[in-house]
């Protein structure tokens, strides 16, 4: 599952999936999808009986799924209260962005170090992604912009060929999603962000590993600053 592409809602194929997949995994993917789509919001209680009834399963796999989501930091169990979608504090968000800057910077450097032919193909994909971001920014489609932004960075992460980094990055982005979802309506800094991404793509195409790493790390830091500013605006409303 890609960071920007949560699982789809359950459909008529669920019974066939159940035969091939553990119930706990199916429930986990369903609840995760609802969190990433914003249908379950930060701080909201997850109703176990409702989840079990909707999916046609017992509460046992629901509890199993919620324990797994808790271990990944997406939900939290509160004694005598139930399980809630986590609401990240400012310090935790800052720490996650610092880690993301390291991972994204590494991906940017590795992308620029690819062999010329592979690097050119990657740069083409990045340029196409920037074009879609620019279109979304012009039409003020914040959701589409956000999704394409994630895709841009994921393309570079995948290009590292490092499965451990990809998995860490996926989990990191999903946790940050809890905070970023509440601020998408602000649409802050899209034009500046497009310019950042265009410069990153150009550095990758030129094979400038040092510049690519620095541009990506700086871009992530500015993204965190914009998010923190949006949260301050919300708190002041």
- Given 3.30.1490.20, 3.40.50.300, 3.40.640.10, 1.20.120.530, which CATH number is that of 90-236? 1.20.120.530
User: Could you tell me the two tokens for 100?
Assistant: 């993301």
Cα separation, 88 vs 184, whole angstroms: 16
**So what's the pLDDT on residue 1?**
43
Model pLDDT for residues 32-63, shown as the tens digit of each residue: 988 888 788 889 999 999 999 999 999 999 99
Average pLDDT, the chain: 86
Domain ranges of the chain: 14-85, 90-236
Torsion of CA 181, 96, 221, 106, to 10 degrees: -120
Spatial neighbors of 183 by CB under 8 A, at least 6 apart, are 227, 230, 231, 234
Model pLDDT for residues 123-166, shown as the tens digit of each residue: 999 999 999 999 999 998 887 888 899 999 999 999 999 999 99
pTM score: 0.80
- Do 86 and 40 meet the contact criterion of CB atoms below 8 Å apart? no
Of residues 121 and 15, more confidence is placed in 121
The dihedrals phi and psi of 115, each to the nearest 5 degrees, come to -60, 150
* Class level of CATH domain 14-85: mainly alpha
């Amino acid at each position: 599952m890609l960071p920007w592409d949560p699982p789809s809602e359950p459909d008529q194929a669920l019974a066939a999936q159940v035969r091939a997949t553990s119930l706990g995994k199916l429930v986990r993917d369903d609840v995760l999808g609802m969190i990433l789509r914003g249908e379950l919001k930060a701080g909201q209680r997850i109703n176990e009986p409702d989840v079990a009834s909707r999916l046609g399963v017992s509460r046992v796999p629901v509890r199993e799924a919620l324990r797994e989501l808790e271990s990944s930091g997406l939900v939290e169990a509160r004694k005598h209260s139930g399980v809630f979608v986590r609401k990240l504090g400012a310090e935790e968000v800052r720490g996650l962005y610092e880690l993301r800057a390291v991972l994204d910077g590494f991906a940017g450097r590795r992308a620029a170090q690819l062999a010329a032919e592979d690097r050119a193909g990657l740069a083409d994909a990045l340029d196409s992604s920037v074009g879609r971001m620019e279109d979304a920014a012009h039409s003020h489609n914040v959701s589409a912009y956000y999704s394409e932004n994630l895709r841009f960075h994921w393309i570079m992460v995948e290009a590292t060929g490092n499965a451990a980094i990809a998995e860490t990055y996926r989990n990191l982005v999903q946790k940050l999603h809890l905070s970023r979802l509440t601020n998408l309506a602000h649409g802050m800094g899209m034009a500046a962000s497009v310019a950042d991404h265009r410069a990153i793509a150009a550095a990758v195409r030129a094979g400038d590993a040092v510049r690519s790493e620095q541009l990506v790390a700086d871009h992530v830091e500015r993204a965190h600053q914009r998010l923190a500013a949006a949260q301050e605006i919300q708190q002041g409303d």
